[in-house]
Amino acid sequence: MVARAVRILATLTLLVIVVAAVAWAAMAIWFDGPHLRVIAAPMAAGLVIVCIILAAIVRPLLRGLTVALFPVIIVALWWTAIPASNARDWTFDVARTARATFHGNSVTIENVRNFKYRSETDYDQRWETRTYDLARIKGVDLFLSFWGPTEIAHTIVSWDFDDGQHLAISIETRKQKGESYSAIRGFFRQYELYYVVADERDLVGLRTNYRGEQVFLYRIRATAPQARALLVDYLDEVNHLADHPEWYNALTQNCTTTIRGHAQNVGVGGNLDWRLLANGHLDELLYERGQIDTSIPFAELRARSNITEKAKAAGDSPDFSARIRQGLPGISG
């Protein structure tokens, strides 16, 4: 009796796995297979039919379900071999890749984005070469930007230097001309991974002033050496991607899970938590862990950390970064 119950449970579990795997494989063919839908659609449908037939004709059912996974494995092997590229017809805002060159405590970064915007789509392109003294890093900040759903936010990390400079890095999808972001496509091999290395007026001002997003700013409790190590780790990845492009993935390689990876690389990453995926609650998680200011209640901290109106008022001002930080908890100077 017990053995039969175990067999039934194993069969049901495997059935769920097979259904999910076949669905994923069919969508992988649909999104990442032949560009012509008249070819991709029959291929995706054919995969589903083949898997159903295998599960139906091979006995016992548990073995049939196992055999039905073989076509999925073949699709997975093909899918993982699809190469990412830096040579596509990119939109202007992601057209160039940054590259960092280290000289002791000094780092020179090529292609720092500092566009001057008149609207989200109308701007003057300005790609700059900037030099930063890593010994002058005094802190690291986190921006959370909300464009609609409050469960999900876009995250941006920015480094604060004691000479008044700020360097922001946003982990995004690299889109081609005529391409827009799709949450579903983000789970497949549709977008390359891209690090926007930029001036805060560009990255933050674009969101608050021209996209109508709500942006919150928090100072991360980290020592200057930790902040420096984090930036070096980021820039090492920037250099790696310039030579070896990789795919963005909405689950495993997105704007927040990648940040956690960098934090773990320098020994400051925390345990996995559901709020790393529903990252609209990331500030709540950081508050619980004591990684942002905890001297006031969280609700008050969050209200005071909304820098949207400050950013709008600062506009294209040269002291944009200083103005959005005025009066923020946990930030001095």
pLDDT in tens, 238-267: 999 999 999 999 988 888 888 889 888 887
User: CA-to-CA distance for 194 and 97, rounded, in angstroms?
Assistant: 8
pLDDT of residue 252: 86
SS (H, E, C) 174-227: ECECCCCCCCCHHHCCCCEEEEEEECHHHHHHHHHHHCCCEEEEEEECCCHHHH
pLDDT-derived band at 330, boundaries 50, 70, 90: confident
> Do residues 329 and 303 lie in contact, with contact meaning Cβ atoms separated by under 8 Å?
no
pTM, entire model: 0.92
Q: Are strands 99-103 and 106-113 parallel, antiparallel or unpaired?
A: antiparallel
What average pLDDT score do residues 57-86 get?
Answer: 95
pLDDT at 9 over 60: yes
Domain residues of the chain, as ranges?
2-80, 92-325
pLDDT in tens, 287-313: 999 999 999 999 999 999 999 999 999
Q: Is 73 helix (H, G, I), strand (E, B) or coil?
A: helix
pLDDT in tens, 149-187: 889 999 999 999 999 999 999 999 999 999 999 989 999
pLDDT of residue 255: 84
What average pLDDT score do residues 22-36 get?
Answer: 94
Q: How far is CA 37 from CA 27, 28, 34, 190, in A?
A: 12, 13, 7, 15
